[in-house]
């Protein structure tokens, strides 16, 4: 177990989770606010290994589904001020059991903060891990599906007053549609608590140690800044990744469609990348990237935009004219399996490519 004990610890974590959020994962400023409130409740935030929990523990996953587009807001008056807490309470009522710990659905500046906040509210620890290893746009991108573990029962709550219990769903497409539709009705997002897991099931599905990795990553960036070293290089080293491009955002077109931020970015290269263009396709997160129209990163591998000081840029904050470094890293191995690629590979998003690992693509590009 380790604990987050002061604001600097929170800043490390939010910075690291935002980098791994691949452009999505929610607003890190809101994430930091949530964590500060969580810290004020208990004086510390405990993060535990699965092995530290009792064998009869029940773990649940709290998160938000909905648009992260700028300016999104609820369509009706707010009736439930803390929808995520309401969803948590309703889940305990349905299970008839006390929940032992909470788990992040994904790694992102806000969406990793949510379970830490809920855990602090409920006096529960957070598991050091998540069900993705990065951020991703759809409920399909959850490791439980690789192991045929259902996400139901689930509770979905909107701030406008909808409280929905999903006892079962026919398939993940329907569940995605239900949760997404409720977020659209709200106008912004819906709070979800789902995927009650036993320790045995969690041991299969959890991408382990991603919270401690995020903390380490954020701390390293802060330390390199203070020492006058290169934070971008430090990120690459911590993630065993690659810097695949550097340049200025020339075009950024996006739209809010069905609860997703959809768009494309073009970056004109500078330095050794002069006369080259990098393009990414976005569905909330950076999903796929090309250099001069040749693939350089395919899903599920990670694409991250960071400034020269190592500060990550989310896709809601990205603007034309920004000077960015584009980094890449490997996805967790379970996503590279046939079942993982069915849910999170290029063809899932409509691209006519067989998946090629990023380590092979960077070689082809001479990086």
| Token reading at 122 | 């409920």
Contact 302, 330 (CB under 8 A): yes
Q: What percent of the chain has pLDDT over 70?
A: 98
pTM: 0.92
CA atoms within 13 A on the CB side of 3: 11
Helix (H) or strand (E) holding 116: helix 113-122
Q: What is the dihedral of CA 133, 63, 182, 302, to 10 degrees?
A: -20
Helix (H) or strand (E) holding 29: helix 28-42
Contact 290, 364 (CB under 8 A): no
What digits encode the pLDDT tens for the residues 132-189? 999 999 989 999 999 999 999 999 999 999 999 999 999 999 998 999 899 989 988 8
Strand bridging mode 277-283 / 285-291: antiparallel
What digits encode the pLDDT tens for the residues 264-282? 999 999 999 999 999 999 9
What digits encode the pLDDT tens for the residues 232-262? 999 999 999 999 999 999 999 999 887 789 9
Q: What percent of the chain has pLDDT over 90?
A: 88
Per-residue confidence at 68, pLDDT binned at 50, 70, 90? very low
Per-residue confidence at 67, pLDDT binned at 50, 70, 90? low
Spatial distance between the Cα atoms of 247 and 266, rounded to a whole number of angstroms: 10
Largest CA distance in the chain: 62
Query: For residues 217 and 256, which has the higher predicted lDDT (pLDDT)?
Result: 217
Q: Which domains does the chain possess? A: 2-208 (3.40.1610.10), 231-364 (no CATH)
pLDDT of residue 193: 95
Spatial distance between the Cα atoms of 51 and 127, rounded to a whole number of angstroms: 10
pLDDT of residue 301: 98
What does DSSP assign to residue 162? Answer: -
Spatial distance between the Cα atoms of 274 and 27, rounded to a whole number of angstroms: 32
Secondary structure (3-state) at 176: helix
Spatial distance between the Cα atoms of 31 and 117, rounded to a whole number of angstroms: 9
- Residue reference for tokens 């980094």: 327
Please, which residues have CB within 8 angstroms of residue 251's CB and are 6 or more apart in sequence?
Answer: 264, 265, 266, 320
Spatial distance between the Cα atoms of 52 and 147, rounded to a whole number of angstroms: 23
Checking if the pLDDT of 220 tops 70, the result is yes
| Nearest in space to 22 (alpha carbons), one of 112, 139, 92 | 112
Q: Which of 12-16, 63-67, 334-338 has the lowest mean pLDDT?
A: 63-67
Strand bridging mode 126-130 / 45-48: parallel
Q: Which of 59-73, 273-287, 343-357 has the lowest mean pLDDT?
A: 59-73
Whole-number Cα distances in Å, 47 to 117, 123, 125, 205, 219:
12, 12, 6, 18, 17
Q: Would you put residue 313 in left (φ > 0), alpha (ψ -120 to 50) or beta?
A: beta
Number of C-beta neighbours around residue 330 at 10 A: 18
Spatial distance between the Cα atoms of 127 and 109, rounded to a whole number of angstroms: 17
Across 189-193, average pLDDT: 92
Query: For residues 120 and 358, which has the higher predicted lDDT (pLDDT)?
Result: 358
pLDDT of residue 65: 83
Spatial distance between the Cα atoms of 328 and 201, rounded to a whole number of angstroms: 30
Please, which residues have CB within 8 angstroms of residue 112's CB and are 6 or more apart in sequence?
Answer: 13, 17, 25, 31, 104, 106, 130, 211, 214
Spatial distance between the Cα atoms of 277 and 291, rounded to a whole number of angstroms: 6
pLDDT of residue 72: 65
Secondary structure (3-state) at 52: helix
Checking if the pLDDT of 76 tops 90, the result is no
pLDDT averaged over every residue in the chain: 95
Contact 156, 192 (CB under 8 A): yes
């Amino acid at each position: 177990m380790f604990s987050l004990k002061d604001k600097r610890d929170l800043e490390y974590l939010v910075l690291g989770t935002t980098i791994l959020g691949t452009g999505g994962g929610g607003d890190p400023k809101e994430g930091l606010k949530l964590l500060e409130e969580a810290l004020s409740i208990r004086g510390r935030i405990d993060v535990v290994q699965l092995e530290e929990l009792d064998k009869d523990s029940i773990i649940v996953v709290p998160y938000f589904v909905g648009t992260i587009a700028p300016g999104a807001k609820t369509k009706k008056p707010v009736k439930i001020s803390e929808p995520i807490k309401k969803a948590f309470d309703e889940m305990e009522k349905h299970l008839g059991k006390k929940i032992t710990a909470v788990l992040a659905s994904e790694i992102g500046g806000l969406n990793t903060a949510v379970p830490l906040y809920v855990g602090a509210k409920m006096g529960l620890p957070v598991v050091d891990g998540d069900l993705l290893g990065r951020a991703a746009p759809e409920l399909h991108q959850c490791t439980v599906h690789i192991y045929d573990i259902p996400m139901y029962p689930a509770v979905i709550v909107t701030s406008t007053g909808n409280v929905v219990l999903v006892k079962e769903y026919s398939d993940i497409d329907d569940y995605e549609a239900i949760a997404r539709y409720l977020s659209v009705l709200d106008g912004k997002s819906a709070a979800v608590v789902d995927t009650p897991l036993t320790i045995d099931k969690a041991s299969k599905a959890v991408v382990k140690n991603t919270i401690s990795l995020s903390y380490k990553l954020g701390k390293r960036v802060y330390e390199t800044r203070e020492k006058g070293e290169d934070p971008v290089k430090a990120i690459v080293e911590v993630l065993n990744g690659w810097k695949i491009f550097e340049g200025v955002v020339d075009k950024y077109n996006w739209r809010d469609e069905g609860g997703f931020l959809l768009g494309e970015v073009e970056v004109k290269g500078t330095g050794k990348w002069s006369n080259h263009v990098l393009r990414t396709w976005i569905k909330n997160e950076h999903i796929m990237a090309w250099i001069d129209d040749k693939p350089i990163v395919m899903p599920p591998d990670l694409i991250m935009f960071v400034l020269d000081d190592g500060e990550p840029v989310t896709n809601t904050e990205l603007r034309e004219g920004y000077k960015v470094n584009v980094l890449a890293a490997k996805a967790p191995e379970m996503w590279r399996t046939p079942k993982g690629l069915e849910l999170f590979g290029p063809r899932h998003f409509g691209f006519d490519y067989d998946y090629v690992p990023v380590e092979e693509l960077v070689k082809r590009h001479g990086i």
